[in-house]
C-alpha cells in the first residue's frame, strides 16, 4: 500500500484526495503557490510546500513537482484533474524517477490524449466512432473536400484539445474556411500543437459518459453512466447519474462499449469513456484518462469510493469489486456552482466570499475548498463548489436539488446557483427530455429575479452596523 502521496493539484479535488488518504492511513502532501497560501487543501494536508509567487507556473512544472515528491519521501503523486493530470510527459517523468503516478501509464495517456490516435484505437476495437478524418487534416483544401463528402454540419477539433477549447462547428464551406485557421491558432496557443481533425457534427445528441475502473491484473469494470447533456459551449453545468433517458438495454450496451474501449488500450486506474447518443446510435467521443469532476454522482449511486480505488490500484492491489458486485440505486445530480454571472454572459465573478453557508439534510453532499472570508483568486477555474444531491426517484432528486440550492447561502460574488434553479423548474428537464441543445435553446431561463434573499439583506445590515460601530 502507498505510504505518502503528493497531490499535484489545488481546490476541492485536492481536499477530496486528502480525505481519501486520511481514511486509508496514507500521509498527504499539498503544494501551493502564493495565492493559495491560505487555501483549504493546504490546511487539511499532513504537509504543505510552497511553489513560489507565480500563481500557475508551479502547478505546471512536472520536474519541480516530481523532485519535491522525492525530497519529501513520497512514493506516489495523485494529479487530480486539470493541470498536469493528462500530461503524458508528467506521467513518464514519474515512471523514470520511480514515483507511482496515480493514473494510467504515460503511453496510454498519450494515445488517448491524441484524439486521432484514440479514434483509430476505437475503430480497431469495434467501438463505433463518428464519421470523420482518418488522422489529422493536412490543410484547408483537404478539410473542404472531406466536409463535402461527409456532409455539413461538421466539427473541427484540436487533436490535443480538451475542456471545450479548440473546437468549432461549421455549417457551410464558408464557415469552415473562416474557422479552420482560428481553430489552428487556438490549438497552438492552448495546447502547443497545430494539429486538427474533423468529425461529423451529431446534431442535438445526448452526452453520455461511462465511469470505468481497471487494475493492473487486467480486471475492468464500469460504474454505469452519467448524463452530461446540460452544458454550455461544451462546458458541463449539471450532471446526472444514471441517465434518466436510457433504457436498460442502452445502459448495458454503452457500459459494455466502455469496458471494451478500456481493454483495447490496456487501461489502468480510473477513467471515463464519453459518447454521443443520437436516437439509438452511439458514437465514441473521447476518453478522459483521469478522475472526472463529476465522479461524485457515480459514488452516490453505486457506493464505490472512486478515489480510494484509484489509490488501491496504484498500490498494485486488485479491484475491490467485480462487475456483478456493482449495482446502482436512485439518482444523483451535481451542480457546478461557478463564480460567474449568468446574466452577463457568464463572466467570472472573482472576489471575497463574505458569507458561506453549506446546504445539508438527507442526500446532500458538498465538495468544496471555500469558506467564509475566502478570496477566490482570478487565476484558476471559476468553480466554487460541487453540490451533489441523491434521492430514490427522478422526481425526488429534482425536488431535493431545488431545496438544496435554496438552502445554500454564498454571498460576496455572483454564482450560477439561481440559474440552475430555473433549469430545474423547466418542464423538459423535469420530464427528463433534454439534449445538448437545452441551454442554448432556452435563453429565457436567464430572466430570473436578482432579488436579494432576506438573509443577504440582514448580513449587509450587520456588516454596516459593525463598520459604523468600529467593531
Which residues are catalytically annotated? 290
Terminal Cα-to-Cα distance of the chain (whole angstroms): 52
Spatial separation of the C-alpha atoms in residues 102 and 406, rounded to whole Å: 37
Spatial separation of the C-alpha atoms in residues 352 and 469, rounded to whole Å: 22
Q: Cβ of 426: how many Cβ atoms within 10 Å?
A: 15
Q: Please report, for residues 178, 188, 372, 449, the alpha-carbon distance to residue 351 in angstroms, rounded to integers and kept in the order given.
A: 37, 31, 12, 22
Classify 43 in phi/psi space as left (phi over 0), alpha (psi -120 to 50) or beta.
Answer: alpha
| 249 Cβ contact list (under 8 Å, min separation 6) | none
Residue 262 in contact with residue 271, Cβ under 8 Å?
yes
- H or E stretch including 225? strand 220-232
Spatial separation of the C-alpha atoms in residues 199 and 195, rounded to whole Å: 14
| Locus of grid cell 487555501 | 39
Query: Where does 321-411 show beta strands of DSSP type E?
Result: 331-338, 340-341, 347-348, 351-352, 355-357, 364-368, 375-376, 383-391, 409-411
Q: At what angle do helices 115-125 and 106-113 cross, to 10 degrees?
A: 100
Amino acid at each position: 500500500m502507498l505510504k505518502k502521496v503528493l497531490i499535484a493539484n489545488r481546490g476541492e479535488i485536492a481536499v477530496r484526495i486528502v480525505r481519501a488518504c486520511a481514511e486509508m492511513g496514507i500521509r498527504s502532501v499539498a503544494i501551493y503557490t502564493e495565492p493559495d497560501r491560505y487555501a483549504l487543501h493546504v490546511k487539511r494536508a499532513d504537509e504543505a510546500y510552497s511553489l513560489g509567487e507565480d500563481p500557475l507556473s508551479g502547478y505546471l512544472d512536472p520536474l519541480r513537482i516530481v523532485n519535491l515528491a522525492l525530497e519529501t519521501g513520497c512514493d506516489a503523486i495523485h494529479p487530480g484533474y486539470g493541470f498536469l493530470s493528462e500530461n503524458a510527459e508528467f506521467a513518464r517523468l514519474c515512471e523514470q524517477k520511480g514515483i507511482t503516478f496515480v493514473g494510467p501509464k504515460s503511453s496510454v495517456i498519450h494515445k488517448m490524449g491524441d484524439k486521432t490516435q484514440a479514434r483509430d484505437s476505437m475503430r480497431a476495437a469495434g467501438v463505433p466512432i463518428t464519421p470523420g478524418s482518418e488522422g489529422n487534416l493536412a490543410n484547408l483544401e483537404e478539410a473542404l473536400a472531406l466536409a463535402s463528402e461527409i456532409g455539413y454540419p461538421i466539427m473541427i477539433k484540436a487533436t490535443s484539445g480538451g475542456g471545450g477549447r479548440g473546437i468549432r462547428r461549421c455549417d457551410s464551406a464558408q464557415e469552415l474556411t473562416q474557422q479552420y485557421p482560428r481553430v489552428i491558432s487556438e490549438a497552438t496557443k492552448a495546447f502547443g500543437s497545430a494539429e486538427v481533425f474533423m468529425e461529423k457534427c451529431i446534431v442535438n445528441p445526448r452526452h453520455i459518459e461511462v465511469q470505468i475502473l481497471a487494475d493492473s491484473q487486467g480486471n475492468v469494470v464500469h460504474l454505469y453512466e452519467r448524463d452530461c447533456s446540460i452544458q454550455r459551449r461544451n462546458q458541463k453545468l449539471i450532471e446526472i447519474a444514471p441517465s434518466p433517458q436510457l433504457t436498460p438495454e442502452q445502459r448495458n450496451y454503452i457500459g459494455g462499449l466502455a469496458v471494451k474501449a478500456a481493454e483495447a488500450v490496456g487501461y489502468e486506474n480510473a477513467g471515463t469513456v464519453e459518447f454521443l447518443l443520437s436516437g439509438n446510435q452511439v458514437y465514441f467521443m473521447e476518453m478522459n484518462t483521469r478522475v472526472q469532476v463529476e465522479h461524485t454522482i457515480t459514488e452516490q449511486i453505486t457506493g464505490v469510493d472512486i478515489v480510494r480505488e484509484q489509490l488501491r490500484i496504484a498500490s498494485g492491489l486488485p479491484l475491490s469489486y467485480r462487475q456483478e458486485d456493482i449495482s446502482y440505486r436512485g439518482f444523483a445530480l451535481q451542480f457546478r456552482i461557478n463564480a460567474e454571472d449568468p446574466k452577463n454572459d457568464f463572466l467570472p465573478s472573482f472576489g471575497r466570499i463574505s458569507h458561506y453557508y453549506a446546504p445539508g439534510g438527507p442526500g446532500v453532499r458538498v465538495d468544496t475548498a471555500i469558506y467564509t472570508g475566502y478570496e477566490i483568486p482570478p487565476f484558476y477555474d471559476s468553480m466554487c463548489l460541487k453540490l451533489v444531491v441523491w434521492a430514490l426517484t427522478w422526481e425526488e432528486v429534482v425536488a431535493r436539488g431545488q431545496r438544496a440550492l435554496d438552502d445554500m447561502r454564498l454571498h460576496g460574488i455572483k454564482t450560477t446557483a439561481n440559474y440552475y434553479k430555473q433549469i430545474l423548474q423547466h418542464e423538459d428537464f423535469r420530464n427528463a427530455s433534454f439534449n445538448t441543445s437545452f441551454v442554448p435553446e432556452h435563453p429565457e431561463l436567464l430572466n430570473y429575479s436578482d432579488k436579494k434573499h432576506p438573509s443577504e439583506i440582514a448580513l449587509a445590515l450587520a456588516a454596516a452596523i459593525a463598520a459604523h460601530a468600529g467593531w
